[in-house]
Structure formats: C-alpha cells, structure tokens
Amino acid sequence: MWVLIGIPIVVIGFALRFNPLLVVTIAGISTGVAGGMHTVDIISAFGKAFNDNRYMGLIWLTLPVIALLERSGLKEQAKHLISKIHAATTGRVLMLYFVLRQATAALGLTSLGGHPQMVRPLIAPMAEAAATTKYGDLPNDVRQKIRANAAAVDNIAVFFGEDIFIAIQSILLIKGFLDQNGVFVEPLQLSVWAIPTAISALVIHFIRLWLLDRSLARRFNGQQGSLGK
C-alpha cells in the first residue's frame, strides 16, 4: 500500500503549485523507499529513466526559436500575407493546412506540423487575419473559436493521416492489439484500409470548415445589416 505514496504526493504538490520537478523527484524517492529499494537503486532508476527519455527534451529546443521568430514579427507577416489574398477565408486557410498536414503525416513526416511550431505562430494568426480582412475587428469569442478550429485541424489531420504510413507507432499498436485478440493482419493491410478513413475525415472536416465560414458570414453580415438600419 505504501508504494503508492507517490500518487498523493504528486496530486498534493501540483494542487499547491509547488515546483513540478521537485514534486516528481520527491514522489519518486518516496515510492522507492516505500518499495524497499536501496539508495543506489533509486538513483539508478532516475538515471535510467532520464537516459531512456533523453530525446523528449529536444522539443524544448524549438521553443526559443519560435519565441525569437514571434518577436521578430512572424505573426504579423503571416497576417499581412493573408490580408493580400482576397479569396482567402478562415475555412479555406484551414482546409489548405488540413490537406498539407494530412499528406505529410501520411508520408511519416508528423513533426512538420504541430501546435507550438505551426498552429500558434502561423496557422491561427493566418486564419484570424482572413476573417479580419472580411469582417473587421473580431470579438474575443470569435478569435477563440477560430483558434480552436485551427488546433482541431492539426489534431484531426495528423491523427487520421499518420496511420497511412506503415512504419508508425499507431500501426504497431493496432497490430499488437489485434494479435492479442486472435485477429492477424499485416501492417500493410492496416495502412491501406486507413486511406478511406483519412479521406472520410478530410471530407467531413471540410464540411465543418465550410459551415464555420457560413456561420461567420451570417453573424457579421447580420450585424452589419442591423447597423445599417
């Protein structure tokens, strides 16, 4: 029972807003001591965990780069570019990104997009700029709705696109699950049958983005009509 002491330590530490690294470290040490591990074994377990997951820290290297780009006006340039394209709408911008994201994910290039490196600094500002160009200044609820749709596009496109690539973790996970339940299929079969699912996701989401454009047009054109009266 005491080996679970790390769970309440983490919950309480996070609830009290203590340093997350300190909380996790104390929870790990407490769990090891409760489990009867020697000091050397506990330190070795920390070292092994760090070594096994050392590549996860590479994601933090992108954050300073993105911060510098934003400080140099990346968002402003993206908005300026979209404002020059009169045919651009919020839905069309997100549709284009959906196609690009899903196509690259199908080739195994899942790291080319993502929320921190693409959606926040580029896609969401471009989608907002397309709406601003047509309707003027946007209220906060509309901006949040556009940002949510931009994030959803990235999630859905990569989720259904990556399964087309045969050498992806999700394919191996599906195959392992099916094997455990007596259903034996080749990874290539899973990849092939992921194609119609990806196409369906694309069509359905295109309809959702088209409806998003219609809802924005209906809202702001209705407001302009009311002001005209």
Cα gap 53→23, rounded to integer Å = 19
> In the structure, what pLDDT confidence band is assigned to residue 100 with cuts at 50, 70 and 90?
very high
The yes-or-no verdict on residue 74 having pLDDT over 90 is: no
Give the pLDDT confidence score for residue 188 in this predicted structure.
Answer: 87
Q: What is the pTM (predicted TM-score) of this model? A: 0.68
Are 95 and 69 in contact by the 8 Å Cβ rule? The answer is no
Residue pLDDT, tens place only, 116-138: 888 888 899 889 989 998 888 88
Q: What is the rounded CA–CA span in Å between residue 54 and residue 224?
A: 55
Please, where are the H alpha helices in the chain?
A: 6-15, 20-34, 39-52, 59-71, 74-83, 90-106, 124-135, 140-161, 169-180, 187-228
pLDDT at 209: 96
4 alpha carbon, distance to own chain's centre? 31
The predicted-structure confidence for 131-189, as pLDDT tens digits, reads as follows 998 888 889 999 999 999 999 999 999 999 998 988 887 787 888 888 888 888 888 88
**Length of the chain in residues, anyone?**
229
Average pLDDT score over the chain: 84
Higher-confidence residue of 34 and 21: namely 34
Q: How far does the chain reach from its first CA to its final CA, in angstroms?
A: 71
Instruction: Decide if 32 contacts 45 (C-beta within 8 A).
Output: yes
